[in-house]
A and B are shown apart, each in its own frame.
Chain A
Amino acid sequence: MAVLEVQNLIKKYNEVEVLKGVSLKVEKGETLVIIGASGSGKSTILRCINQLEKIDSGNIKIDEDLMIKEYKKGKAVYQSKDILKKMNLKCGMVFQNFNLFPHMTILQNVTEPMIYVLGKNKEEAEKEAKEILEKMGLQDKAKAYPCDLSGGQQQRASIARTLAIHPEILFMDEPTSALDPELIGEVLKVIKTLAEDKRTMVIVTHEIQFAKEIASRVIFMDDGKIVEEGLPEEVIDNPKKERTKTFLQRFRKM
Chain B
Amino acid sequence: MNFENILNTFEILFSGIGTTLQIFIISLIFSIPFGVLIALGRNSKNKVLSGMMNLYILIIRGTPIMLQIIFVYFAPYYLFKISYDRFLAMILALVLNYGAYFAEIFRTGINSIPKGQYEAAFTLGMNKKITFFRIILPQVIKRILPAMSNEVISLTKTTSLAQVIGVTEMFALAQKQASYQFSIMPVCIAGIFYLALCGIITIIFHYFEKRLSYYKIV
Instruction: Check if A and B associate.
Output: yes
Query: Smallest distance from the beta carbon of A94 to chain B beta carbons, Å?
Result: 9
Chain A contacts of B134 at CB under 8 A? 112, 116
Contact B117 A92 (CB under 8 A): no
- Expressed in whole angstroms, the Cα–Cα distance for A117 and B142 within the complex equals 25
Chain A contacts of B139 at CB under 8 A? 102-103
A146 within 8 A of B: yes
B123 within 8 A of A: yes
Q: A85-B125, A116-B134, A117-B126 are in contact. Are A101 and B117 (CB under 8 A)?
A: yes
B77 within 8 A of A: no
User: B125: which of A97, A103, A117, A158 is its contact (CB, 8 Å)?
Assistant: A117
User: B116: which of A51, A91, A95, A147 is its contact (CB, 8 Å)?
Assistant: A95
Chain A residues with a Cβ closer than 8 Å to the other chain, count: 29
Chain A contacts of B119 at CB under 8 A? 52, 93, 95, 99
- Expressed in whole angstroms, the Cα–Cα distance for A190 and B116 within the complex equals 23
Query: Smallest distance from the beta carbon of A106 to chain B beta carbons, Å?
Result: 11
Closest to B217 in A: A102
Chain B interface SS verdict (over half): helix
Contact B218 A92 (CB under 8 A): no
Chain A 97-114 interface 0/1 with B at a Cβ cutoff of 8 Å (1 = within): 101111100000000110
Contact B123 A93 (CB under 8 A): yes
A165 within 8 A of B: yes
Chain B contacts of A205 at CB under 8 A? none
A89 within 8 A of B: yes
Query: Smallest distance from the beta carbon of B126 to chain A beta carbons, Å?
Result: 6
Of all A-B residue pairs in the complex, the 10 with the closest CB atoms, nearest first, are: A99-B120, A99-B116, A93-B123, A147-B216, A113-B124, A117-B125, A145-B215, A89-B125, A103-B138, A116-B130
List 23 contacting pairs A-B, 8 Å CB cutoff, sorted by A.
A51-B122, A52-B123, A85-B125, A88-B122, A88-B123, A93-B120, A95-B119, A97-B116, A101-B117, A101-B120, A101-B135, A102-B139, A102-B216, A116-B126, A116-B130, A117-B125, A146-B215, A146-B218, A147-B218, A158-B120, A162-B123, A165-B124, A165-B125
A interface residue numbers (CB < 8 A to B): 50-52, 85, 88-89, 91-93, 95, 97, 99-103, 112-113, 116-118, 145-147, 158, 161-162, 164-165
B interface residue numbers (CB < 8 A to A): 114, 116-117, 119-120, 122-126, 130, 134-135, 138-139, 142, 214-218
A92-B123, A95-B119 given. 11 additional CB < 8 A pairs? A95-B116, A99-B119, A102-B215, A103-B138, A103-B215, A113-B124, A116-B130, A116-B134, A117-B125, A146-B218, A162-B123
